[in-house]
Structure 1
């Protein structure tokens, strides 16, 4: 059961809604209604229904290519608004394996984005960020103009490769550790921005430092400085030292990251269970970018001591095929 989700609300349908136009004409179009507490639900990952060869995607796209060896894939020639269920299943597996998948020149509208996102899991209703009227599942990302001339890229890191780059001794050390995660960052950000808290923040939660992905079965490093506060069972001095090392290890992972430059109609689909991401705030003297996203929620994070790293699993699979 996954405790990090909430009741679903009916979406008010306006298929003609143009958020880019709304942002240009109105600016801050977001609303901030209150929402009920989180409730658990059972998650069924569509990645389990995928074809391991992902033929429904690879046989119908005009081009598919990887941006880096470890994270990031681009699919051309397919529209998210018309994907079949099997293509969505295969996309779930591809995102679980590659971390983030990009689609270009998309015609999908905000309502379709919400319906598309629901296929992958119950959609999150954010407890402090605003959304367009009638579309509570959408998170609006800034506003003013649709696409700035320069800047506003996003970086993703592979949690799989972050784990694989640790030494065997350090892997053994972090396997099975737990860390406290907190929502203090969002509370402070909302207060500093003058935004209301839309739902009472839950108490701090405890998650594994190394998370097992339920679809791939691979281990992923699962800490980040915005939310991970401390290591369970350690003194503050010890915990701070371990987390500082892990945060720096990830931030310095230029060779297991991908940086993507957005264009009009670009869509990124990523798996938060095996990636970490960061928006690049280098554009405030250029204008403010505008975008939006939905966030399907999934299972409670877990660590399976019998799971393997991506590198180990890949090596064993190749050896078995010979």
Structure 2
């Protein structure tokens, strides 16, 4: 349920409503560590959004919690599983999302929490069934039960030229609406009209980009927070695409490293699509640190998966620990898909949480590891602890 007792201030003074010309700070007693700021709509345009801001809300317990890590219902007879990379991405064959039992849905949620994104081919699921599936998993980020439909029409001949005046880094890596106080958890996209070739989507693991940082940099980032902003995308879609956003531009302070509520793993919670600055650092320090971290993310091919769409292919991913980007290389052809999304919890960093690598190191060479773990961990033979080769691998 939403929290309604929001306290608004402008320049430190209490106000009754958000300002059109100055940033309005919003706080909630129930979320003392959550900082939210509604940005002025002037001079972004004449449009006055219907919603001034959205209050945080409590999210139902993740369906993955309590699911069997051996995935006995999901990986039943006739189902084939293929890990596309060691770090991220699994394809399941021989299963229809339209026919999942509740236990299968729970186990699928657990697999996505570990693997980041799970793919399917030749799905018969309809838009209404997509919405029904996500109604089982959680709450719609928007009010009501309206489907979130992603219509991608004819692309510009060259988006780098067409969107040269965009302030938002179009086509860059992002986690869906990470600027929200309750950023999305799961997203599901079914492409029903792909181009003959092109239009691939890439995902990067936040588990992987965190665990491959040096320990001193990890220690520095743990506990820091960054501002995730909708201002640039707001201005771009309003003034270039003619779309009138329903909510005022805003920014929310979220942890740079968040703890996943299901796995307990640390994830690098940054994306170049929406994060504008790191709180507490001066502007030069923030800009240079973000430049370093974005380069680290963008070059993480060892923690990246690329998916080639076919008609009625589906991807189900967890925005809490992956970022993604579309590949706009099929202009001027047509591409269409239907996406559904659900709201997640307010992101937190828990002291004492571990990286995925730290957790998995203790599991190496143990027999009978649950199916939820990647194939290399379950089947690989690792050097004994203390050997030189082990220090190079880990």
Q: Which has the higher helix share?
A: 1
Aligned residues: 284
* Alpha-carbon distance in structure 2 between the residues aligned to 1:37 and 1:178: 21
TM-aligned CA deviation for residue 265 of structure 1: 1.0
Secondary structure of the 1:123 match is coil
Is the 8 Å Cα contact of residues 124 and 294 (structure 1) preserved in structure 2? no
Is the 8 Å Cα contact of residues 82 and 92 (structure 2) preserved in structure 1? yes
Partner residue, 2:245: 197
* Alpha-carbon distance in structure 2 between the residues aligned to 1:62 and 1:156: 24
Matches within 5 A, 1:165-244: 165-191=212-238, 192-201=240-249, 203-244=250-291
Gaps of 5+ in 2: 4-48, 155-191, 369-394
TM-aligned CA deviation for residue 103 of structure 1: 1.1
User: C-alpha root-mean-square deviation of aligned residues, in Å?
Assistant: 2.3
Partner residue, 1:290: 336
Q: Which has the higher strand share?
A: 2
* Alpha-carbon distance in structure 2 between the residues aligned to 1:175 and 1:2: 29
Q: Does 1:54 align with 2:100?
A: no
TM-aligned CA deviation for residue 294 of structure 1: 0.7
Partner residue, 2:117: 100
Deviations 1:24-61 (A, max 9, x none): xxxxxxxxx96785343322100103111111111245
Secondary structure of the 1:284 match is coil
* Alpha-carbon distance in structure 1 between the residues aligned to 2:71 and 2:299: 32
* Alpha-carbon distance in structure 2 between the residues aligned to 1:309 and 1:169: 14
Q: Does 1:88 align with 2:105?
A: yes
Partner residue, 2:85: 68
TM-score, length basis structure 1:
0.83
* Alpha-carbon distance in structure 1 between the residues aligned to 2:204 and 2:286: 23
TM-score, length basis structure 2:
0.68
Secondary structure of the 1:269 match is strand
Partner residue, 1:45: 62
Gaps of 5+ in 1: 4-32, 127-133
Matches within 5 A, 1:106-121: 106-121=123-138
Larger deviation: 59-68 or 219-228?
59-68
TM-aligned CA deviation for residue 150 of structure 1: 1.4
Secondary structure of the 1:156 match is strand
Is the 8 Å Cα contact of residues 61 and 75 (structure 1) preserved in structure 2? no
Deviations 1:245-274 (A, max 9, x none): 111100001111000001111110000001
TM-aligned CA deviation for residue 206 of structure 1: 0.4
Is the 8 Å Cα contact of residues 269 and 321 (structure 2) preserved in structure 1? yes
Partner residue, 2:352: 306
* Alpha-carbon distance in structure 2 between the residues aligned to 1:265 and 1:118: 21
* Alpha-carbon distance in structure 2 between the residues aligned to 1:40 and 1:229: 21
Max radius of gyration: which structure?
A: 2
Deviations 1:167-214 (A, max 9, x none): 11111111111101101232023121011122333x310001011000
Structure 2 counterpart of 1:274, from 321, 346, 354: 321
TM-aligned CA deviation for residue 65 of structure 1: 0.7
